[in-house]
Amino acid sequence: MSVRRTAGLAGWARRRSLRARLTAAAVAVVAAALSLSAVLLVIRVESALVAGVDAAARDRAERVATAIDSGRSAASVLTADVVVDDDEVVQVLDGDRAVLASSVGRPGGRPLLTAPAGTGPEAVTLDGLALPGEQDEPYRVLSLPVRAPDGQRVLVQVGLPLDDAEDSVEELTSALTVGVPAVVAVLAVLTWLLAGRALRPVEALRREAADIPGDALDRRLAVPAGGDELARLAITFNALLGRAEDATRRQREFVADAAHEIRSPLASLRTQLEVAALHDDPSWREQLPALTEDAQRLSRLVDDLLRLARIDARVPLARDEVDLDDLVLETAERIRRHTMRHVDTSAVSAARVTGDRAALARVVQNLLDNALRHARTTVSVSLIATDQALLTVRDDGPGIPVDQRERVFDRFTRLDDARSRDLGGTGLGLAIVRDVVRQHGGDVVVEDAAPGARLVVRLPLTG
């Protein structure tokens, strides 16, 4: 099986997996919502049906209470005025809960309805009333206290069956038990189809991205019309391709420049060594200083390349407290031993920063080396601490044109003016300075010194 076909199958599997996850999530939400709605509906319907039974029982009880209040006896009221269905029960009890009249049984017998009575109408549900011919069917019993004309307190109790209400609730529950899963199944199928349709443009975008080879980063994805999320995804991916193309271009330029810079000292060393080997002349020792200078230049270049490689690889820096003034003074003292130019450090004051001591020492060294290569007589260094550490290195050389002050921080950059003289520089010093300073949360800029150039480094103080 070809690699392309295998990748296509893997993409299909991933797409199906995402489609399944989307469908499962949607179905889970819908199923939970429908189930909760079904439960609430059943509870609401049951409550409404029971409330209807309570209203009918209260109406029957109030009719009996009105008749008793008019002076009629309880027995005459039940036999003459109240029409009782076969499955309904009406009783009138005295204050001692003795039966005065009943639609079932005989007066003076035990109460068939034993629901408690309060000061107002009260309804309860009983599982059964032990009526003749009944099989413990549930009843809704309402008790209504009444005061007769002779001052006696009586209790009217009306019991209505709940079997019709329960049957309705059971039918509704059965319908929902079948209907909710059916609706969920239909929604699952629709969600599956819609998810597949929605993911189709994403898959097309993925295939288009997969067709871009590693050596053709100048290609871009087609941006869908509409400005929706998919279009923004394509724009973002195109921006990523642009950054990758730019990074690749810079890397290739860096490699080419590095190879060119390394070739020159290597060729010089090789030539001088070959000449010395061909001529058996003790005077070849006079060439040792030149050989040493080329070797040192090559060593500096390799060190700079390694430093840039570590920066590009984002190797974590040490986070130590560093006395920046000590670094400046130590570096200046070391440089004074190898130069005839004056290095003025009288304006250096205390400043403490947090960072990598070796990296910051390289910053100071590169700044002073750059200034010495272009200074006529003097290099001035100052360091002050305000809300940040402000390190300034100034030379009295030809200066840097305004339109070139950003370009000097590019790698392997040498300006085409008086500062471009090849005095041992690699074109990487200031690039390393800016990268290291920015790694420490600061920045470096070039300012006019009239005459000369002034490089200003700003670093956050240890806080």
pLDDT band at 290 (very low <50, low <70, confident <90, very high): low
Q: How far is CA 86 from the centre of its chain?
A: 69
Listed range (8-22, 250-264, 352-366) with the worst mean pLDDT: 8-22
Q: How far is CA 2 from CA 11, 12, 191, 208, 399, in A?
A: 14, 15, 33, 18, 62
Most confident of 222-226, 231-235, 264-268, 384-388: 384-388
pLDDT tens-digit map of 67-89: 877 777 776 677 655 555 667 88
pLDDT tens-digit map of 268-277: 777 766 666 6
Task: State residue 276's pLDDT score.
Answer: 64
pLDDT at 3 over 70: no
Return mean pLDDT, the chain.
78
Q: Identify which has the larger pLDDT, 419 or 167.
A: 167
Over range 56-75, report the average pLDDT. Answer: 80
pLDDT band at 106 (very low <50, low <70, confident <90, very high): very low
Listed range (90-94, 169-173, 369-373) with the worst mean pLDDT: 90-94
pLDDT tens-digit map of 182-192: 988 898 888 88
Which of 20, 24, 21, 18 is closest to 206 using CA atoms? 18
Cα 50 to Cα 59: distance, rounded to the nearest angstrom: 14
pLDDT band at 344 (very low <50, low <70, confident <90, very high): very high
Over range 374-399, report the average pLDDT. Answer: 91
pLDDT at 364 over 90: yes
Supply 255's token pair: 């490699």
Which of 400, 378, 391 is closest to 436 using CA atoms? 391
Task: State residue 419's pLDDT score.
Answer: 41
Over range 391-395, report the average pLDDT. Answer: 93
Task: State residue 188's pLDDT score.
Answer: 87
pLDDT at 410 over 70: yes
Most confident of 98-107, 135-144, 267-276, 424-433: 135-144
Q: Would the CA dihedral through 347, 351, 354, 357 be positive or negative?
A: positive
Task: State residue 394's pLDDT score.
Answer: 92
pLDDT band at 360 (very low <50, low <70, confident <90, very high): very high
Task: State residue 281's pLDDT score.
Answer: 58
Q: Identify which has the larger pLDDT, 331 or 110.
A: 331
Task: State residue 423's pLDDT score.
Answer: 47
pLDDT band at 93 (very low <50, low <70, confident <90, very high): confident
pLDDT at 21 over 90: no
**Phi-psi category of residue 319: left, alpha or beta, with phi > 0 → left and psi -120 to 50 → alpha:** beta
Contacts (Cβ under 8 Å, ≥6 apart) of 421: 373
Listed range (79-93, 101-115, 128-142) with the worst mean pLDDT: 101-115
Over range 427-442, report the average pLDDT. Answer: 86
Q: How far is CA 135 from CA 29, 130, 158, 168, 357, in A?
A: 43, 8, 19, 19, 95
Supply 203's token pair: 């898959």
**Phi-psi category of residue 160: left, alpha or beta, with phi > 0 → left and psi -120 to 50 → alpha:** beta
Percent of the chain with pLDDT over 70: 74
CB 456 within 8 A of CB 447: yes
pLDDT band at 312 (very low <50, low <70, confident <90, very high): low
Most confident of 112-121, 129-138, 231-240: 231-240
451 upstream amide cis, omega within 30 of 0: yes
CB 362 within 8 A of CB 390: no
pLDDT at 9 over 60: no
Token match 């809704």: residue? 140
Task: State residue 6's pLDDT score.
Answer: 46
